[in-house]
Chains A and B, each alone.
Chain A
Amino acid sequence: MNYDWRWSVFLQPTLGGAMNYAELLLRGAGITVVTAVLAWLIALSLGTLIGVLRTVPVRSLNAIARSYVEIFRNIPLLLQLFLWYFVLPELLPESAGNWLKALPHGSFYVAFIGLGFYTASRVAEQIRSGIQSLPKGQTNAGLALGMSLPQVYRHVLVPRAYVTMLPTLTSEGLAIMKNTSVALTIGLAELTAQARAMQEYSFHVFEAFSAATVMYFALNVVIVQFARLIERRTAHLA
């Protein structure tokens, strides 16, 4: 392959001169991590709420939760980000829309909020199946002990659903980390975007993408190890 490999390109300064390419990629990785963590916080909390709402014996709440899941699951993530970023400011009243469009770091907020809402629909499905896989005796025992239904959910069902669904939730965590790359289309300077930037400025395509690949592997390993730690700590609850 007649390609001029030069790994020293990482120590060269970028176009702005402020940092070298290695630091550019590391900053991108940092943005990836922060976006993924914030999105995961939204996804976990909102997803648990929606998942629980799908299992409570109230038909209207079931319907609301089901609509949420169907809407956010059937539209591609990229299009959802476009809707948040381009369409939402136009649909709001004039002043609110203008404020949104002028917001600094707008793509960052859109990225983690949009990604959080999207992943919440997937987490909701997993929490729902986790709760529904628990024997009915759990709920009945809680109610017989005098707990109210919300208390049964809070102390018995949801924690056990988390432990049961830990492997699937782990792969959702990995997916969220990978999906941050979709936000490069709305201008978020995350890892893949910075690798593209490095490729465009320095023309060293494969060095840039190799570094990004290695960093994604590293993040992958970190998340998997973290999940294994949680698995070991909660094994007694399964």
Chain B
Amino acid sequence: MNDFDWDVVTRSLGFVLLDGLGFTVVLTLTATVGGILLGIVLALMRQSKRFYISKPAQIYIDVARALPLILVIFWIYFLLPYLAQWVIGSPRPVAVGARTSAFVTFTLFEAAYFAEIIRSGMRGIRKGQYDAGYSLGLTYPQVMGSVVLPQAFRNILPVLATQMIIMFQDSSLVYVLSLTDLLGAASKVAQRDGRLVEMYLFATLIYFSISFAASQLVQRLQARVATPR
């Protein structure tokens, strides 16, 4: 058994927790909010009876779910400068940083998964709800916004929360862009000090505690939200 230097963990605590975990949390929350908003749009588009609205949404969702996240991270990292150049009209590709591209990637990628969850939630709402809304003279936005989506969201809240926990773990993949998320920070300290075992075990402890605690909370949430029918 080699001698392990556990002091490296306490020395780097600030960096790993504030910079690393802070970035991970901000990325997860931003991508969750953005992903759910975009996911609602995609889910509604997918449900549309009009072929030209539902097909693009279906293609988007299918493509995003067929590709590995790492490949999507690379795609957007390399594509975003060219897209920004085209949108802004600058003479050269815009230097979009790795951080921005990571935020864009996770929002767009998770939106597809959230869209599927929201769609399944919408399928769980009885058709009578739609009919009652329309017969009362409500418009499509009012039916969706005031009747269907609130009920759907209440039903799928545990699944959305689980997806958020999954995204919290998937955020570790920004390692490939050398970003300083929780794993990236632990990794950088580990490689600088040559203390891989201590730092990776420490990162494992943090990821495990947060994910486990969060999934326990989701189970409690599930018990409370279960509506008697």
Of B67, B68, B78, B212, chain A has the most CB atoms within 10 Å of the CB of B68
Contact A74 B212 (CB under 8 A): yes
Stretch from B10-18, B123-131, B200-208 contacting the other chain? B200-208
Identify the closest chain A residue to B168 (Cβ): A76
A209 to B212, CA, bound (A): 35
Of the candidates A78, A86, A180, A206, which one forms a contact with B78 in the assembled complex, judged by CB atoms under 8 Å apart? A206
B71 contacts across to A, CB distance below 8 A: 181, 192, 195, 209, 212-213, 216
A179 contacts across to B, CB distance below 8 A: 68
B204 contacts across to A, CB distance below 8 A: 75, 79, 83
A216 contacts across to B, CB distance below 8 A: 66-68, 71
Contact B68 A205 (CB under 8 A): no
Contact B208 A74 (CB under 8 A): yes
Measured CB to CB, the closest approach of chain B to A147, in angstroms, equals 34
Q: Is B149 an interface residue (CB 8 A)?
A: no
B172 contacts across to A, CB distance below 8 A: 76, 78-79
Measured CB to CB, the closest approach of chain A to B65, in angstroms, equals 8
Contact B170 A76 (CB under 8 A): yes
A182 contacts across to B, CB distance below 8 A: 68, 70, 173
Report if A87-B196 is in contact (Cβ < 8 Å); known contacts: A75-B211, A78-B183, A79-B204. yes
Q: Is B153 an interface residue (CB 8 A)?
A: no
- Per the 8 Å Cβ criterion, residues 165-186 of B in contact with A are 169-170, 172-173, 175-176, 183
B67 contacts across to A, CB distance below 8 A: 178, 213, 216
Contact A209 B75 (CB under 8 A): yes
B78 contacts across to A, CB distance below 8 A: 199, 205-206, 209
Q: Is A217 an interface residue (CB 8 A)?
A: yes
Q: Is B74 an interface residue (CB 8 A)?
A: yes
A235 to B71, CA, bound (A): 35
A72-94: CB near B (< 8 Å → 1, else 0) gives 01111111001100110011010
A2 to B67, CA, bound (A): 26
Q: Is B134 an interface residue (CB 8 A)?
A: no
Q: Is A71 an interface residue (CB 8 A)?
A: yes
A180 to B187, CA, bound (A): 21
A184 to B70, CA, bound (A): 9
Q: Is A185 an interface residue (CB 8 A)?
A: yes
Q: Is B69 an interface residue (CB 8 A)?
A: yes
B187 contacts across to A, CB distance below 8 A: 82
Having A73-B211, A79-B183, one finds 15 other A-B pairs with CB under 8 Å, namely A76-B169, A76-B170, A82-B183, A87-B200, A91-B1, A179-B68, A181-B70, A181-B71, A184-B70, A192-B68, A192-B71, A195-B71, A195-B74, A212-B71, A220-B66
The 30 listed contacts between A and B (C-beta, < 8 Å) are: A70-B212, A71-B208, A73-B211, A74-B207, A74-B208, A74-B211, A76-B173, A76-B183, A76-B207, A78-B183, A79-B204, A82-B183, A83-B204, A86-B196, A90-B2, A90-B196, A178-B69, A181-B68, A181-B69, A182-B70, A185-B175, A192-B68, A192-B74, A195-B74, A199-B78, A205-B78, A209-B78, A213-B67, A213-B71, A216-B71
Which A residues lie at the B interface, using CB under 8 A?
1-3, 70-71, 73-79, 82-83, 86-87, 90-91, 93, 174, 178-182, 184-185, 192, 195-196, 199, 205-206, 209, 212-213, 216-217, 220
Which B residues lie at the A interface, using CB under 8 A?
1-2, 66-71, 74-75, 78-79, 82, 85-86, 169-170, 172-173, 175-176, 183, 187, 196-197, 200-201, 203-204, 207-208, 211-212, 215
